[in-house]
């Protein structure tokens, strides 16, 4: 097919809206005229009918050409194609009948048939583009295709420190039906499913997955680095071959890792596989015919294993409770299931018990946490110290002491810590230096003095420490003598009227004696007036008012 013909076919999504708008407008005009028991303006409806007919024919033509390019399931696209052709033919008949004045009844009937046929044509078109059930999906109960992968079974285990029971994964096993199929259905099936098969690839059944697409097999079992699926998942999002395409809902990092683990395990459809297996994906080879090793693909896939990324989505009930308590919660980014939680709005009223209750179910999901200016104390420190995925923690203005800071030393991934305006002292320096990933720490207005800061900086030169400056403050700049340039007298000085002597004793406007309170300077001379209104008149035309010397 010629590239220009292919471009013509791809105009279909743009042009199909023209006949829809024209036919709906025409139907509304005729309906309004019918309610008023009169006929609509002939010339207006005739132009609108021919516009709708012409655009319907062009839209049907572009749709036919687009279908020749493939990528759509035959049954669904055939129904849509025939309904589109029927709409175009009926629209032409409507325009012809509109041109014949004596065929008004036939014209209205043809218009009604055209609109009726157009509705299912549009519905099938939407199903081809967005997937079956797109229109009524919000009214239906969510299916497995619409929700995230179910978390694996979990058991409660006792915390050795005597804290509240911790949540632990009982099994890291995953299956295709429970874990992989929902990802394919929710992220891929709209373009690679029952009604639409871009690239001759469908992912809605096991048979379709095994069949692959026009690029060949979807994957190579046991060889993630040679699998087309993982290569495309690992490309930058703005790459033309990246899947899902840019602008579409993307797979999270742990979901990509799960698919990689499935392929690495041999892509089993029935047997269980280990979700914690290190994910591998192939990066495009730097040179033709050269495949990169699994270890070199980390940048393209942004791999995060079970050790750093939660194995499941955060509990929905726990997220709902945060929002009910006016606590901000959101993903750190679109590529991860890790969370940013900020207690700012609830800080004045939340206590240790409330913080523990709300954060306990999310201890494995929070990467960025702010408890600034809350009543948090050392009582919550054991929980914070167990949140192994924390990368940023803000405890500014809380009641944390050295005892609580010692609990935080277990946070190996923490990169930024804010302890400003807390009671921590130099005794916490050793605990802070144990945080091997720490890059930035705020200690201003805390109990850590200059000696403690210096000791920490000497041990960790790469660490950025924001603390109070020691010694007396040194003036950076001194302002010179103030020189007043206005007419007002400086504070404590005599009023201007007491230091100026008018050249006249009689008001030049009214002829009354001068009042020293009303003086102006004109052409280098001080002129006096009897009241506040006379200076206004004088300024409008000074030459009209000669001065009389005292």
* Phi–psi pair at 526, nearest 5 degrees: -90, 120
Tell me how many domains the chain contains.
Answer: 4
Question: Is 194 in the same domain as 275?
Answer: yes
User: What is the b/e burial string over 349-358, where b = at least 16 CB atoms within 10 angstroms of the residue's CB?
Assistant: ebebebbbeb
Residues 398 and 444 in one domain: yes
Q: Are residues 330 and 394 in the same domain?
A: yes
CATH number, domain of 336, equals 3.80.10.10
For the whole model, what pTM was predicted?
A: 0.40
In-domain check, residue 180? yes
Which residues have CB under 8 Å from 447's CB, separation 6+?
A: 422, 423, 424, 425, 426
Domain identity same for 276 and 391: no
> Do 462 and 429 share a domain, yes or no?
yes
Whole-Å CA distances, 219 to 7, 33, 107, 142, 229: 31, 62, 57, 29, 6
Beta bridge partners of 287: none
Residue 293 and residue 179 share a domain: yes
Position 280 in a domain: yes
**Residues 320 and 392 reside in one and the same domain:** yes
368 has a pLDDT exceeding 90: yes
pLDDT in tens, 372-392: 999 999 999 999 999 989 999
Last residue of a domain, one of 111, 138, 165: 138
The token pair at 303 is: 């791999």
Please state, as a whole number, how many other Cβ atoms lie within 10 Å of the Cβ of residue 532: 10
Of the listed ranges 75-89, 122-136, 361-375, the one predicted with least confidence: 122-136
289 and 320 belong to one structural domain:
no
The mean per-residue pLDDT over the stretch 308-322 comes to 84
Q: Would 10 be classed as within a structural domain?
A: yes
Claim to verify: residue 330 and residue 395 sit in the same structural domain: yes
Q: Is-contact 528 548, C-beta < 8 A?
A: no
Asked if the structure places residue 482 within a domain, the reply is: no
Nearest to 174 by CA among 165, 183, 164, 166: 183
Structure tokens at 290: 């050269």
**Residue 294 and residue 401 in one domain:** no
- Do the bridges between strand 416-418 and strand 440-442 make them parallel or antiparallel, or are there none, so unpaired? parallel
- Which tens digit of pLDDT belongs to each residue from 389-439? 999 999 999 999 999 999 999 998 999 999 999 999 999 999 999 998 999
Scored b (16 or more CB within 10 A) or e, 274-293 reads: ebbbbbbbbbeeeeeeebee
H or E stretch covering 185: helix 181-187
* Residues paired with 168 in a beta bridge: 155
Are 408 and 521 in the same domain?
no
Is residue 47 in a domain?
Answer: yes
For the chain, the first-to-last Cα distance in angstroms comes to 106
- Closest Cα partner for 256 from 239, 238, 232? 232
Burial class for 57, CB neighbours closer than 10 Å (0-12, 13-18, 19+): middle
CA-based nearest residue to 212, from 223, 197, 201: 201
Domain-located, residue 484: no
Domain boundary, last residue among 138, 167, 193:
138
- Quickly list DSSP for 128-184: HHH-TTTTTGGGSPP-TTTSPPPPPPEEEE--TTS-SPEEEES--EE-IIIIIHHHH
Query: Does residue 489 lie in a domain region?
Result: no
Residues 132 and 65 in one domain: yes
| Residue where a domain stops, chosen among 301, 334, 368 | 301
Task: Tell me how far apart the alpha carbons of residues 526 and 64 are, in angstroms, rounded to a whole number.
Answer: 93
Q: What is the tens place of the pLDDT at every residue in 62-85?
A: 888 887 766 565 576 788 889 999
d(CA 50, CA 119): 19
Give the structural domain span for 189.
154-301
């Amino acid at each position: 097919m010629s590239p220009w013909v292919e471009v013509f076919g791809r105009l279909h999504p743009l042009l199909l809206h023209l006949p829809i708008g024209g036919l709906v407008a025409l139907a509304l005009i005729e309906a309004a005229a019918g309610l008023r028991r009169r006929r609509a303006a002939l010339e207006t409806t005739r132009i609108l009918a021919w516009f709708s007919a012409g655009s319907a024919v062009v839209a049907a033509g572009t749709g036919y050409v687009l279908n020749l390019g493939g990528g759509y399931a035959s049954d669904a696209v055939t129904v849509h194609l025939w309904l589109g052709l029927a709409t175009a033919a009926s629209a032409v008949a409507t325009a012809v009948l509109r041109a014949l004045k004596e065929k008004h009844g036939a014209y209205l009937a043809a218009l009604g048939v055209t609109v009726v046929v157009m509705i299912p044509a549009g519905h099938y078109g939407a199903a081809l583009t967005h997937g079956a059930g797109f229109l009524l999906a919000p009214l239906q109960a969510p299916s497995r295709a619409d929700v995230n992968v179910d978390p694996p079974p979990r058991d409660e285990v006792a915390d050795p420190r005597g804290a509240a029971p911790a949540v632990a994964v009982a099994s890291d096993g995953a299956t295709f039906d429970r874990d992989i199929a929902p990802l394919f259905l929710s992220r891929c099936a709209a373009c690679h499913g029952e009604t639409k098969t871009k690239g001759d690839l469908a992912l809605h059944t096991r048979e379709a997955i095994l069949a692959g697409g026009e690029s060949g097999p979807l994957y190579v079992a046991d060889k993630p680095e040679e699998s087309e699926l993982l290569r495309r998942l690992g490309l930058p999002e703005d790459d033309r071959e990246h899947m899902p395409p840019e602008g579409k809902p993307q797979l999270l990092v742990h979901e990509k890792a799960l698919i990689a683990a499935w392929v690495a395990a041999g892509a089993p459809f029935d047997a269980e596989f280990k979700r914690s297996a290190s994910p591998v994906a192939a990066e495009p080879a730097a040179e033709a015919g050269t495949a990169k090793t699994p270890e070199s693909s980390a940048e393209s896939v942004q791999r995060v294993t079970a050790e750093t990324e939660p194995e499941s989505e955060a509990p929905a009930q726990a997220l709902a409770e945060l929002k009910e308590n006016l606590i901000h919660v959101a993903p750190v980014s679109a590529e991860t299931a890790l969370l940013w939680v900020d207690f700012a709005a609830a800080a004045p009223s939340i206590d240790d018990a409330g913080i523990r209750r709300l954060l306990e179910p999310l201890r494995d999901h929070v990467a960025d946490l702010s408890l600034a200016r809350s009543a948090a104390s050392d009582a919550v420190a054991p929980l914070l110290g167990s949140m192994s995925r924390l990368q940023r923690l803000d405890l500014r203005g809380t009641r944390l002491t050295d005892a609580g800071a010692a609990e935080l030393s277990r946070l190996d991934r923490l990169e930024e810590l804010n302890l400003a305006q807390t009671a921590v002292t130099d005794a916490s320096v050793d605990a802070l230096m144990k945080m091997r990933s720490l890059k930035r720490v705020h200690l201003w207005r805390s109990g850590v003095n200059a000696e403690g800061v210096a000791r920490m900086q000497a041990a960790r030169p790469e660490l950025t420490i924001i603390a109070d400056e020691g010694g007396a403050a040194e003036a950076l700049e001194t302002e010179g003598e103030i020189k007043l340039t206005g007419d007002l007298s400086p504070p404590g000085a005599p009023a201007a009227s007491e230091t100026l002597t008018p050249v006249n004793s009689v008001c030049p406007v009214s002829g009354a004696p001068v009042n020293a309170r009303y003086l102006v300077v004109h052409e280098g001379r001080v002129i006096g007036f009897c009241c506040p209104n006379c200076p206004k008149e004088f300024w409008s035309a000074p030459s009209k008012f000669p001065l009389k010397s005292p």
